[in-house]
Amino acid sequence: MIVILITVLVFVFIIACYIYGLYVRVIQNKNTTLEALSGIDVQLRKRYDLIPNVLTIAKKFMEHETELFDKITKLRTQAINGKLGSKAKFDAEAQLDTQLKTLMVNVENYPTLKSDATMVQAMKTYEEVEENISSARRFYNSALTELRNSVQIFPGSIFRSYAGEVANFSYFETDVASKQPINASQYL
């Protein structure tokens, strides 16, 4: 009789441990999904904080380049102008030559420009943040799949209520515009 009672108690204990294990798995999957969602938020915050810096650097960088191109264009126009006297024309040509040399030096040393290095670094940082966002989104989708599987497949479905509305969260999917090919000619 004691052997049967011990066997039944062991069997009940094993079933209780199994059910508790299912409960723990659902809760862990829920928390992992919430953590993954939080990870996306952290990466998006990094992006939001980085965008103004990238734009400021790009604007500063483009101002420098625009100023140089504007100077060259203006000096070229002055040098071409037939109404200038020779002295004014030579001065314009000398200034144009100086600006063109500056442009050539900048082109030759383009990678070593401090503004360029800053922009390149900012763009690398931005790309890293974008990659991290993509990774965080993949992790979230994977965590959500695990959670959904754990609460949709019996016997884990018994604990669906413990997953709460997290189990009904949506997967991250790209929008229709992101799936379209990019027409680079729009940006040139």
Closest CA to 157 of 13, 3, 25, 2: 25
Helix (H, G, I), strand (E, B) or coil at 55: helix
What's the whole-model pTM score?
Answer: 0.64
What pLDDT, on the 0 to 100 scale, is given for residue 32? 93
- Per the rule left: phi > 0, alpha: psi between -120 and 50, beta: everything else, 169 is beta
Q: Which of 11-25, 58-72, 102-116, 135-149 has the least mean pLDDT?
A: 102-116
CA distance 156 to 19: 8
CB of 51 closer than 8 Å to CB of 41: no
Helix (H, G, I), strand (E, B) or coil at 113: coil
Going from the C-alpha of 14 to that of each of 4, 65, 159, 174, the distances in angstroms are 15, 73, 18, 45
What pLDDT, on the 0 to 100 scale, is given for residue 187? 38
- Is the pLDDT assigned to residue 81 strictly greater than 50? yes
CB of 84 closer than 8 Å to CB of 78: yes
Q: What ranges do the domains of the chain cover? A: 2-172
Q: Which residue has the tokens 């959500």?
A: 144
CB of 122 closer than 8 Å to CB of 39: no
Considering only residues 95 and 106, tell me which one the structure prediction assigns the higher pLDDT. 95
- Per the rule left: phi > 0, alpha: psi between -120 and 50, beta: everything else, 66 is alpha
What pLDDT, on the 0 to 100 scale, is given for residue 142? 93
Give the confidence band of 179 by pLDDT, cuts at 50, 70, 90: low
Structure tokens at 129: 């943040």
Per-residue pLDDT reduced to its tens digit, 7-46: 999 999 999 999 999 999 999 999 998 999 888 888 878 8
Identify the sign of the CA torsion 96, 98, 100, 103. negative
- Report angle CA 74, 80, 85 to the nearest 5 degrees: 105
Helix (H, G, I), strand (E, B) or coil at 18: helix
